[in-house]
């Protein structure tokens, strides 16, 4: 599964990159803002995405999740703001709170994989 990560903190992005690769998936890159994601989207290949709520262009994670869903890309939130993520439970497949628990992330990646496989 090719996983993209929308996150503006490079430390966390690098950590998640390793966790994604540990899980046998392909890390499909990062963008630090919703704006950057939109600009680069046509050049990116992804099956699903991990999305933070606060990005370099503000509180744009929720919009990004909706936008990605419209393009057939399911997402989960990876965020310190679980309550905000709860408001978008219909659009996002799940939530991984920060600080990231490695076991919870891999559990949610399995959930994402089932969504991706069902839509094929």
Q: Which of residues 1, 23, 54, 115 is near another protein by CB under 8 A?
A: 54
Q: Residue 38, SS3?
A: helix
64 binds another protein (CB under 8 A): no
Binding segment for another protein (CB under 8 A), chosen from 41-49, 52-60, 68-76, 87-95, is: 52-60
Q: Is 47 exposed, middle or buried (0-12, 13-18, 19+ CB in 10 A)?
A: buried
15 binds another protein (CB under 8 A): yes
> With contact defined as beta carbons under 8 Å apart, do 76 and 92 qualify?
yes
Handedness of CA 12, 99, 102, 120 (dihedral sign): negative
56 binds another protein (CB under 8 A): yes
8 binds another protein (CB under 8 A): yes
Residue 11 phi, psi (nearest 5): -60, -45
Binding segment for another protein (CB under 8 A), chosen from 13-21, 43-51, 62-70, 109-117, is: 13-21
Q: Which helix (H) or strand (E) holds 6?
A: strand 2-6
Closest contact distance (angstroms) between CB of 120 and another protein is: 30
Residues interacting with another protein, by CB under 8 A?
Answer: 8-15, 17-18, 30, 32, 36, 54-60, 80-81, 98-100, 102
């Amino acid at each position: 599964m090719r996983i993209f990560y929308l996150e503006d903190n490079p430390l966390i992005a690098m950590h998640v990159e390793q966790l994604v690769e540990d899980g046998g998936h392909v890390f499909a890159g990062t963008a630090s803002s919703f704006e950057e994601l939109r600009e680069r989207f046509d050049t990116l290949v992804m099956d699903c995405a991990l999305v933070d709520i606060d990005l370099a262009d503000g509180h744009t994670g929720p919009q990004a999740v909706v936008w990605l869903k419209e393009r057939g890309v399911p997402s989960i939130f990876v965020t310190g703001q679980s309550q905000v993520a709860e408001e978008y439970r219909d659009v996002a497949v799940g939530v991984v709170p920060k600080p990231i628990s490695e076991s919870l992330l891999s559990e949610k990646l399995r959930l994402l994989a089932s969504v991706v496989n069902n839509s094929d």
